């Protein structure tokens, strides 16, 4: 980190548009993200685009606390936008970064978050090409809020939508469910819970491209963020007008995550994830997609949790350990605010 910022805090001057703003942008953002598009420091980035269908998304991140086991708000901001693009089958290319900084924020913390963003961007293979910084008075925000927007390209022939699930399709998840939500809950000291869990925060674009390389029959993809796996399955069942049946004994849930949920009376199916996807794939391709996923770091714990069936349209049914059937509805309200 530049020595002139050590032990310094954000002031209103850093958002004034004057020399303090210019120096902060150059020293903290441009030098860290370090690419030719950003280095011009113009009001727009001029991008080279390959042929294909354009995918565009934006998301804002207000998670509390800023740092947690397995991640931080900067890693989350890159991961969330990259994964939103990846769920369409797009190859993410460029991201923007908008920052709302609270007066008094330590520049050491800001620098740590920006470096985490750049590390994650490199892992994803994307570039942060433009951005914006605003400073608000102390008490008007909570340290830092981040907005990231992203663009990517979808190759010809890739058609992945929530409305494409059909009877017979298999439902696959790439890993354990609920770890991010459980990690954030135990990070909040007022809950006084201690469990050996890290957030699943990770980019998934490379995993999705691996899956697409072995199957052209992936019908639906969603990352199970707010509302968890239960909400994603309900969205797919509703949009596709099908019934989705999942098995309780097939759900991958870590023992500590299950323990946190039992203490707080929560259902891990509704907990937020930041590196877990739900895939709906044609039955004949399910095994080869599963095998391809297991060969990657992001999908080594992948498993089939259910299938698309005939039955009441828009319904998600859970076959319980006791042989019964339970309807899994959409999340009503918010189990925990500021989770991402």
Q: What is the pLDDT along the chain (340 residues), one digit of tens a residue?
A: 777 888 899 999 999 889 999 999 999 999 999 999 999 988 899 998 888 999 999 999 999 999 999 999 999 999 999 999 999 999 999 999 999 999 999 999 999 999 999 999 999 999 999 999 999 999 999 999 999 999 999 999 999 999 999 999 999 999 999 999 999 988 886 666 777 899 999 999 999 999 999 999 999 999 999 999 999 999 999 999 999 999 999 999 999 999 989 988 889 999 999 999 999 999 999 999 999 999 999 999 999 999 999 989 999 999 999 999 999 998 777 777 888 9
Burial of 44 (0-12, 13-18, 19+ CB in 10 A): exposed
Structure tokens at 228: 């968890």
Number of compact structural domains in the chain: 2
End-of-domain residue from the set 95, 119, 154? 154
Is 17 part of a structural domain of the chain? yes
Q: Identify the domain containing residue 94 by its residue range.
A: 9-154
Question: Does one domain contain both 278 and 134?
Answer: no
End-of-domain residue from the set 131, 154, 177? 154
Q: DSSP letter at 189? A: G
Whether 320 and 326 have beta carbons less than 8 Å apart is answered as: yes
What does the alpha-carbon distance between residue 189 and residue 16 come to, in Å, rounded to a whole number? Answer: 35
Return the CATH number at 49.
Answer: 3.30.1330.10
Is 335 part of a structural domain of the chain? no
Question: Does one domain contain both 187 and 147?
Answer: no
Is 259 part of a structural domain of the chain? yes
Q: What angle do CA 118, 148, 236 make, to 5 degrees?
A: 115
For the chain, how far is it from start to end, CA to CA, in angstroms?
Answer: 27
Question: Does one domain contain both 143 and 180?
Answer: no
Question: Does one domain contain both 175 and 306?
Answer: yes
End-of-domain residue from the set 119, 154, 189? 154
Question: Does one domain contain both 104 and 187?
Answer: no
């Amino acid at each position: 980190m530049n020595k002139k910022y050590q032990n310094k805090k954000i002031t209103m001057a850093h958002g004034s548009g004057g020399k303090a703003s210019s120096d902060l942008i150059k020293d903290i953002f441009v030098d860290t993200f370090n690419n030719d598009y950003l280095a011009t420091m113009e009001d727009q980035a001029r991008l080279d685009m390959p042929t294909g269908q354009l995918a565009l998304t934006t998301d804002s991140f207000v998670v509390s606390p800023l740092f947690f086991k397995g991640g931080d708000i900067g890693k989350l901001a890159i991961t969330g936008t990259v994964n939103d693009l990846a769920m369409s089958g797009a190859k993410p290319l460029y991201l923007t970064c908008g920052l709302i900084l609270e007066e008094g924020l330590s520049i050491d913390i800001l620098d740590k978050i920006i470096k985490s963003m750049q590390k994650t961007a490199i892992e994803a293979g994307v570039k942060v090409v433009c951005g914006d910084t605003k400073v608000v008075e102390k008490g008007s925000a909570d340290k830092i809020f981040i907005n990231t927007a992203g663009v990517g390209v979808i190759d010809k022939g890739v058609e992945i939508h929530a409305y494409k699930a059909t009877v017979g399709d298999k439902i696959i998840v790439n890993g354990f469910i609920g770890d991010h939500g459980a990690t954030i809950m135990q990070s909040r000291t007022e809950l006084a819970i201690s469990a050996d869990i890290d957030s699943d925060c990770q980019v998934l674009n490379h995993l999705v491209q691996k899956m697409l390389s072995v199957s052209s029959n992936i019908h639906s993809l969603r990352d199970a963020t707010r509302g968890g796996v239960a909400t994603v399955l309900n969205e797919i069942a509703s949009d596709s007008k099908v019934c989705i049946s999942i098995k309780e004994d097939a759900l991958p849930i870590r023992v500590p995550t299950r323990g946190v949920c039992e203490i707080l009376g929560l259902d891990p199916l509704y907990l937020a994830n930041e590196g877990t996807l739900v895939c709906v794939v044609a039955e004949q391709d399910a095994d080869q997609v599963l095998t391809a996923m297991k060969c990657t770091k992001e999908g080594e714990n992948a498993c089939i949790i259910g299938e698309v069936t005939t039955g009441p349209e828009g319904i998600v049914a859970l076959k319980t350990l006791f042989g019964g059937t339970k309807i899994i509805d959409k999340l009503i309200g918010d189990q925990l605010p500021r989770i991402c």
